[in-house]
Amino acid sequence: MNRKLFGTDGVRGRANTHPMTAEMALRLGAAAGRYFRRDGRNRHQVVIGKDTRLSGYMLENALTAGLTSTGMNVLLLGPVPTPAVGYLTRSMRADLGIMISASHNPAEDNGIKFFGPDGFKLSDQAEAEIEAIVAGEIDPAQPQNIGRAKRIDDGRGRYVEYAKTTFPAGLRLDGMKVVVDCAHGAAYRAAPEVLWELGADVVPLGVEPNGFNINDGVGSTHPEACAAAVVERGADLGISLDGDADRVILIDEKGRMADGDQIMALLASRWARQDRLKGGALVATVMSNLGLEHFLQGQGLRLERTRVGDRYVVERMRESGFNLGGEQSGHIVMTDYATTGDGLIAALQFLAAMTETGMTASSLARQFEPVPQLLKNVRYAVGADPLSVEAVRSVIADAEARLAGSGRVLIRKSGTEPLIRVMAEATDETVLHEVVDGIVAAVERAA
């Protein structure tokens, strides 16, 4: 079943522009309510969280109207991280969880992500079925079965308490100075609270949301802000979250950044030594660095690759029983603790490694030397298909042959905009640039 409304991570777009309008949010809420209602009784629940974008109020109210119109009872959490919605959906025995967020995108964008009763994001099939309901007639509930809405005042507190339980019992962060950049987003209160309650000297950054400044010069897409604060304040670690706190970039005490690949490498090797890494494998996407794969092989571990998107990482993990995966961008999925990427809990695992070993962040954050990687984007006209042009396919084939044994080429279409992403890795940086530039030129000519 094809999906046009849903992308790789829910429904996303510019606020007040299709599909991120109040009208569409109302229909999405009604369609999701109809999909999850198993009978006519008024007993079904949905939890809704959001980040700090101004448009979140509009979408929250519209979703609530749609959901209650089909008999769902709505529990409003207010601003909480995306992983908190996954956790609370399961904890509160809800049929559905919804997060209103466009993650690391600018403030003028927004999105709607759906979670099933198990706390995991909905499958492609479930999203396609909801989309089909949106396109048809949606039967409203009878007047006596209309749902209720209630605000849950302690939703953030419940998540804070749970997040602390993922840090080893008996350990504290006393004497450790931590900069935490919350991107003026969903974790602006939860993340500093968790770290402070565990004993850290917390330097908060990006904790003054005004509806318009989420991800603006701060957060995981702008980690240089956190890096500067770490150096200036003499901190032991910097934690740079994105707008909905499901991804993280870490900063060592020297101001150097560690992406998701380096964090996953550390956790995989530690968990393997502790006999905690299920299946002897780490799940990551095709974008993860070749250096990570070589590092894992040296540890006797495997790298299982999926297509881009944390939902596909989680699907592979669940299918095969793995418990660690993620993306280079900073989504770290630890199914022992969470149902989706959780930037704060990933940072707590790193802090646990620092505390238990007595090692500095810089000693732990560089687990392998990355193979040089280059990514360029080429925009193309909607409806065009540059990758089907024979000249482009020929150039790509030549590049793959040239890098055989010393690198790799990855060409893919963006799932959210008309872009061809051209990525390559090679031990020889001169060859790397020649290969990528050659493919980009061919795609531009075809586009």
Q: Is the pLDDT of residue 384 over 50?
A: yes
Is 103 an annotated catalytic residue? yes
> What pLDDT, in 10s, does the model give residues 419-447?
899 999 999 999 999 999 999 999 999 88
Mean pLDDT of 201-222: 97
Query: Can you tell me the mean pLDDT for 254-277?
Result: 98
What does the alpha-carbon distance between residue 160 and residue 178 come to, in Å, rounded to a whole number?
17
Q: What is the mean pLDDT of residues 104-118?
A: 95
Q: Which of 44-53, 87-96, 350-359, 416-425 has the lowest mean pLDDT?
A: 416-425
In which band, very low, low, confident or very high, does the pLDDT at 286 lie, cut at 50, 70 and 90? very high
Mean pLDDT of 365-390: 91
Residue the block writes with tokens 């968790």: 194
Domains and their CATH numbers in the chain: 11-154 (3.40.120.10), 175-257 (3.40.120.10), 259-345+352-364 (3.40.120.10), 373-446 (3.30.310.50)
Output the pLDDT for position 2: 64
362 has binding-site annotation = no
103 is in an annotated binding site: yes
Rounded distance, CA 247 to CA 348, Å?
13
Q: What is the pLDDT of residue 39?
A: 53
pLDDT tens-digit map of 99-109? 999 999 999 99
Please report how many Cα atoms fall inside a 13 Å half-sphere around the Cα of residue 252, on the Cβ side.
17
Q: What percent of the chain has pLDDT over 90?
A: 89
Report whether 95 belongs to an annotated binding site: no
Instruction: Please tell me which residue in 69, 101, 103, 329 is annotated as part of the active site.
Output: 103
pLDDT exceeds cutoff 90 at 417: no
pLDDT of 416 reads 64
Establish whether 246 is an annotated binding residue: yes
Identify which has the larger pLDDT, 372 or 2: 372
For 138-142, 316-320, 350-354, 415-419, which range has the lowest pLDDT when averaged over its residues? Answer: 415-419
- Which helix (H) or strand (E) element contains residue 26? helix 22-36
According to the model, what pLDDT value does residue 229 have?
Answer: 98
Q: Is residue 276 over pLDDT 70? A: yes
Q: Determine the average pLDDT of the residues in 26-40.
A: 86
pTM, to two decimals: 0.92
Closest CA to 194 of 182, 185, 211: 182
DSSP 355-406: HHH---HHHHS--SPPPPEEEEEEE--TT--GGGSHHHHHHHHHHHHHHTTT
pLDDT at residue number 38: 60
CA nearest neighbour of 214 among 263, 251, 181:
181
Q: Can you give the pLDDT at residue 42?
A: 46
